[in-house]
Amino acid sequence: MQYEHRLVAFIDILGFSSMVEKSVKDEKYRNKIFDALKQIQEEVDYNKVKKEEENRDFEMVQFSDSLVVSQRFINTISFSVFIMRINFIQKILADKGILIRGGISAGDLYHEGTIAYGPAFINAYKLESSLADYPRIIIDPKIINFEILPENEPLGDVKFNMKYYIWEGNKIPIILKDEDELYFVNYLYGMYEEPQIANNLRQLLIKELQSLKCHDLSEFKIIKKLKWNLRYIDSCPWNK
């Protein structure tokens, strides 16, 4: 066994426990959870087939309310492909009204099937649990600041290509810079514009906000997350 230089995302489904509790009495919720997880599992299975047929270097495993995705970090093209795959996963869940939070890092990682471990995994987990805060998937600042580099690309090329991805004038940026200076995956218009998903999600978020009574600290935290997501939706180009 050897570590490889890989990009890795650790993703958490927000509110999964409460969703499961609601599903006990609500068939609609049961189907919602099942459909979302089934779609993710289908993507996992599809990837396994493609990996065998085309020797794709992409790993994904889902367990309970978490998802771990990884890919070799060869060059900046592999970075953009990886972000687009994460974009797709986030879009699937958002379309079901399910919010997720995560962290993306890179470095030494072993990931084969259901086994994933290494320093890069720990970093991605820490980003998700300590820094992401909102329903967003953030990118390790060390990747953005060229402290973690691809394994097979000159530094000058890396800087040129990454600057394009983070350029604020880019009309379809795959990642966006937030107010706290952290970059996150732009799943609503980073690859294709998704106004229908955004509008449906907005309605669900507003409905959820109206149902909260602010009786305890946990509800204030939920409100903070929901309002962040509404601001993200409002920032989409079709709302300007």
Over 60: is that where the pLDDT of 140 sits? Answer: yes
Place of tokens 């020797």: 55
Residue 208 pLDDT > 80: yes
Asked if residues 186 and 174 have their Cβ atoms less than 8 Å apart, the reply is yes
Q: Considering only 39-43, 81-85, 206-210, which range has the smallest mean pLDDT?
A: 39-43
| Per-residue pLDDT band at 216 (split at 50, 70, 90) | low
Mean pLDDT of the chain: 87
Confidence of residue 217 (pLDDT cuts 50, 70, 90): low
| pLDDT tens digits, 65-102 | 889 999 999 999 999 989 998 998 899 889 888 899 99
Instruction: Determine the 3-state secondary structure of 223 from DSSP.
Output: helix
| C-alpha span between 196 and 193 (Å, rounded) | 9
Please tell me the distance from the alpha carbon of residue 156 to that of residue 70, in angstroms, as a whole number.
25
> Strands 66-72 and 4-13: what pairing?
antiparallel
SS3 assignment, position 190 = coil
Q: Is 174 exposed, middle or buried (0-12, 13-18, 19+ CB in 10 A)?
A: buried
User: With respect to CATH, is domain 4-192 assigned 3.30.70.1230?
Assistant: yes
Provide the pLDDT confidence category of residue 171 given band limits of 50, 70 and 90: confident
pLDDT at residue 1, as a whole number: 80
Domain ranges of the chain: 4-192
Task: Spell out a b/e string for 77-97, using b for 16 or more CB atoms within 10 Å of the CB, else e.
Answer: ebbbebbebbbebbbbbbbbb
For 131, which DSSP code?
Answer: I
Q: What are the tens digits of pLDDT across the range 48-66? A: 666 565 556 788 888 878 8
What pLDDT does residue 31 have? 79
